[in-house]
C-alpha cells in the first residue's frame, strides 16, 4: 500500500527524516557538515519543511552571528528534503541538482534560526513534469526566522530535475 499524501510524495520518506537516530546517521554519513553544525528537521510533510540551525561555536562567524554558509546549508536542506521526498522510491528514477542559488540577508542571525519552505506541492509538480517531459526546473523559496519571528534571511534555490533512463 502506498503511503502518499499528494501525487508523487511518499510519506515513508518523512517518517525516516523524523526518526532521530536514522536522520542523524544519514547526516553523519552523507552531510557531515550539517551533522556537526547541528541542523535539525523540526517539521516535514508533503507541503512544508522546517530546518533549524543553532548559533554555537561551529556555526559562528567573527561578528557574533551565524556564518552565512551555515544559514545557506539549513535553507537548502529545507528545500532539498522536500525534493528528496518527491523522488523517494519512485518507479521512474529522477536525479536532482541545485543549479542556482540567491540569498538576501536582512538581519543578524543570532540564536536558533528556522528555515521554512512551503513549496512541497510545487516541487512535486516539477518532479512529475520531469517524469513526463524528461527535465524540469523550479525556483523554491526558504525563509529564515529568528525566535522573535523576524525574517533574518531569504534564499531562493533553483532545482533541476531529470528523469533517468531505466
How do residues 71-112 score in pLDDT, each as one tens digit? 999 999 999 999 999 999 899 999 999 999 999 999 999 999
- 17 vs 74, higher pLDDT: 74
Which residue's entry shows cell 533553483? 158
Domains of the chain: 4-163 (3.10.129.10)
pLDDT at 4: 40
Q: How many CA atoms lie within 13 A of 60 on its CB side?
A: 7
pLDDT digits (tens, 9 = 90+) for 144-162: 999 999 999 999 999 999 9
Q: Region 52-77: what's the mean pLDDT? A: 97
pLDDT digits (tens, 9 = 90+) for 36-45: 999 999 999 9
Q: What is the DSSP letter of 153?
A: E
- The residues near 72 (Cβ < 8 Å, ≥ 6 apart) are 101, 103, 155
**162 to 26, 89, 100, 107, 139: CA distances (angstroms):** 24, 15, 16, 36, 15
Cα 39 off chain centre by: 11
Whole-prediction pTM: 0.91
Grid cell digits, residue 3: 503511503
Partners of residue 52 on adjacent β-strands: 40, 114
Average pLDDT value over all residues in the chain? 92
49-53 and 94-105 beta bridge pairing: unpaired
Q: Quick check: 2 pLDDT over 60?
A: no
Grid cell digits, residue 49: 519543511
Grid cell digits, residue 107: 538581519
CA–CA dist 83, 23 (Å, integer): 16
Q: Region 48-57: what's the mean pLDDT? A: 97
Residue 50: which region, alpha, beta or left (left: phi > 0; alpha: psi -120 to 50)?
beta
Amino acid at each position: 500500500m502506498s503511503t502518499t499524501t499528494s501525487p508523487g510524495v511518499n510519506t515513508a520518506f518523512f517518517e525516516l527524516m523524523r526518526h532521530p537516530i536514522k536522520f542523524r546517521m544519514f547526516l553523519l554519513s552523507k552531510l557531515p557538515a550539517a551533522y556537526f553544525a547541528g541542523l535539525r528537521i523540526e517539521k516535514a510533510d508533503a507541503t512544508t519543511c522546517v530546518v533549524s540551525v543553532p548559533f554555537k561555536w561551529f556555526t559562528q562567524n567573527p561578528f557574533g552571528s551565524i556564518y552565512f554558509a551555515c544559514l545557506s546549508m539549513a535553507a537548502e536542506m529545507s528545500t532539498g528534503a522536500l525534493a528528496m521526498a518527491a523522488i523517494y522510491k519512485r518507479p521512474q528514477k529522477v536525479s536532482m541538482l541545485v543549479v542556482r542559488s540567491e540569498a538576501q540577508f536582512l538581519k543578524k542571525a543570532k540564536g536558533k534560526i528556522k528555515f521554512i519552505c512551503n513549496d512541497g506541492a510545487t516541487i512535486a509538480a516539477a518532479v512529475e513534469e520531469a517524469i513526463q517531459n524528461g527535465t524540469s526546473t523550479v525556483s523554491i523559496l526558504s525563509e529564515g526566522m529568528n525566535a522573535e519571528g523576524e525574517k533574518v534571511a531569504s534564499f531562493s534555490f533553483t532545482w533541476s530535475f531529470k528523469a533517468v533512463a531505466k
